[in-house]
A and B are shown apart, each in its own frame.
Chain A
Amino acid sequence: MEMLVASAIGIMTAGGIYLTLRLRTFPVIMGISLLTYAVNVFLFASGRLTIGAPPILRDGVDVYTDPLPQALVLTAIVISFGMTAVVVMIGLGAYLGSDDDHVDDQPVDIDGETEGNS
């Protein structure tokens, strides 16, 4: 299981970084979403992996899973969803306004006109 979780985190991170480097808003947002998924799974794994163990104290149970990462992940998921929504809206606004979905600043001509969105 460790192998599966670790490779899942690794693949998602790699894909996320690749997409983030694409410099156009849609792939970058997708890439950051992938990265947040990866980090959420990573946070889960930071409390050690256990199967079928309860996180809350109860009678007759010896093996527990760490409840704290679950609380952390819950917070992180909410924040990352909110952030993704915000960046989609701002990215959409920027795209509609300048008819260009590049994330980086485009090179400027000698006339001061920006290439691509003039």
Chain B
Amino acid sequence: MTHWIIAPIVLPALLAPFIVLAARYHIGIQRVFSVTGVLALITIAAGLAWQASDGTITLYQLSDWAAPFGIVLVADRLSTMMVLLTAVLALFVLLYAIGSGWDDRGRHFHALFQFQLMGIMGAFLTGDLFNLFVFFEVLLIASYGLMIHAGGDARLRAGVQYVLFNLIGSTLFLFALGSIYAETGTLNMADLAERVALISPDETVGIRIAAVLLLLVFAIKAAVVPLHFWLPSSYAEAPAPVAALFAIMTKVGAYAIIRVYTMIFPPDLEATAGLFGLWLLPAALVSLAIGMIGVLAAKRLDRLVAFSVIGSMGMVMISIALFTPEGIAAALYYIVHSTLAGAVLFLISDLVRTGRTDLEITPQPTIAGAPLTAGLFFVGAIAMAGLPPLSGFLGKLLVLNASYDSDLMVWIWIVVLSSSLISILGFARAGSVLFWKSTSVPPTDETSALPHPAALSYVAVGGLISLLIAHTVFAGQVHGYTTTMAAQLFAPEPYKAMVLDTAGKLSKPSKEEH
């Protein structure tokens, strides 16, 4: 049994306490360990992704206890891709945090950052719903700390909202788990899939309630309208590198929906049929519309980016709610794109903040390094608004292409295309006010003394943008890979067989013994 699959969880889990205990007062040593840890994570994640790329499903039974009683970790194509995406994003976010000095503005940034990574990795790799809850909590606890990192009244107030909203979400998650357990007597995903399929059509009330509760929980994490209230304030007030890392957290919700609803409640299951087409798809369309209208209406750059994240999650959710292999493949392509684009825009808004007193979208004196920052913002905005030539455009085409067979096809096309136009207007307005009109305001002594962003910050943003470009250039290969990923998700038999039939302590007696 290969032990590599648990390494993305164990490595940050060991590194974080080490950083707290041994390197508490030395920001330099913390930085070295944190970056080294993330580099090691990328290597491990790339290895796991390579291992899973030929369709292999790797199972890890903790303490060799067999499923469904033991805790299992499962790495398939989807999990490993998300793990790799998280690790790569984490590297650039970390570089930015170091370059801009954000990590030095409060205590324990690096330790919390590692704990956050541990939670995210665990949520992607676990094969058990209760452990999904536990890893959600781990990543949330760390994110509470990161969210209020560096303090300040506005941040603390936004932090209270964020924590309270997530606490309600966690409570709802436990209610969902309780009802699932009461109905089926198991929480292992593969085991659940088998048992849910056996429930007689007359007795589906409980499992339907459980499915809806679970969808609500994941929709809160994914910030789907009407459960998106927590996102704009929290992401706008969080420190920029933290907000950039949070770009992956909404995707944890999307990942959980894809995983649970392809495995446990597949589209052909009668009990939960209609849940997606009837409820999730309209909600996703509204999310996209509200997000992009928010982009146009935002008065501050950080809010603008936060609303564009809601919009892009709406796009991902539309594609997921179609619930076809093409839809899921398009959603996965778009997930990678919107994670990178969201993170880039949050980091750029911090570059802008470095040279200004605030982030209001009003004409103010030119910031230091304005041409470069403006250029980066231009690229980021093109990516997020979905204009050619970047991957947002391709992702949008894939989503539109996947929507041909849907009943709501006309609505999807209308909302996607008109919201693109609105977001282009919103980004164009923000960009022209921030970067062009600034030349009409003469600099004052106060503003000319503001610092220039560090070179490392530009390296981090540039790195993320080059990833976006690579995501565009290799779109064919990436989409081909997400298509095989969707195919694997819609044929879960090997996954179930791997989880349930692998021998371990307390496993089912094999047939030879009878």
Contacts and interface: CB of A to CB of B under 8 A. Distances in A.
A103 B171 contact: no
A28 B164 contact: yes
Interface in B178-222: 178-179, 181-182, 185
B170 A79 contact: yes
A90 B153 CA distance: 10
Given A35-B171, A42-B175, A43-B174, A72 B181 contact: yes
Contacts of A35: 168, 171
Contacts of B104: none
Contact of B160 (A40, A75, A83, A87): A87
Contacts of B182: 45-48
Interface string A41-81: 01101111000000000000000001011001001100110
A14 B156 CA distance: 28
Contacts of B167: 32, 36, 83, 87
A116 B242 CA distance: 29
A76 B174 contact: yes
Nearest to A66: B185
B10 to A, nearest CB: 19
Task: Give the interface residue-count category, chain A.
Answer: 35 or more
Nearest to A91: B160
A98 B181 contact: no
A94 B174 contact: no
Interface in B112-167: 130, 134, 137, 141, 144, 148, 151-153, 156-157, 159-161, 163-164, 167
Interface residues of B, number: 29
B159 A42 contact: no
Contacts of B175: 39, 42
Contact of B174 (A28, A29, A39, A82): A39
A98 B185 CA distance: 48
Contacts of A45: 178, 182
Q: Is the interface of B mostly helix, strand, loop or mixed?
A: helix
Q: Is the interface of A mostly helix, strand, loop or mixed?
A: helix
Contact of A20 (B151, B168, B174): B168
Contacts of B148: 90, 93
Given A90-B144, A94-B153, A72 B177 contact: yes
B233 interface: yes
Contact of B137 (A32, A68, A79): A79
Nearest to B137: A79
Nearest to A79: B137
A20 to B, nearest CB: 7
A90 B170 contact: no
Nearest to A29: B164
A43 B134 CA distance: 15
Contacts of A39: 171, 174-175, 178
Contacts of A97: 152-153, 156-157
B490 to A, nearest CB: 30
Most chain A beta-carbon contacts within 10 A, residue among B156, B157, B177, B179: B157
B141 A83 contact: yes
A39 B53 CA distance: 40
A11 interface: no
B288 to A, nearest CB: 24
A83 B157 contact: no
A5 B157 CA distance: 37
A118 to B, nearest CB: 12
B170 A83 contact: yes
Interface string A10-43: 0000000000100001001100100110011011
B116 to A, nearest CB: 14
A69 to B, nearest CB: 7
A104 interface: yes
A103 B178 contact: no
A86 B178 contact: no
Nearest to A83: B167
A47 B181 contact: yes
Contacts of A91: 160
A2 interface: no
A25 B167 CA distance: 13
Nearest to A100: B157
A39 B366 CA distance: 54
B167 to A, nearest CB: 5
A87 B161 contact: no
A14 to B, nearest CB: 14
Interface in B432-470: none
A93 B156 contact: yes
Nearest to A108: B299
5 contacts: A32-B168, A86-B141, A91-B160, A103-B161, A105-B157
Given A47-B182, A86-B144, 9 more contacts: A39-B175, A42-B174, A43-B177, A48-B182, A79-B137, A82-B141, A83-B137, A93-B151, A98-B156
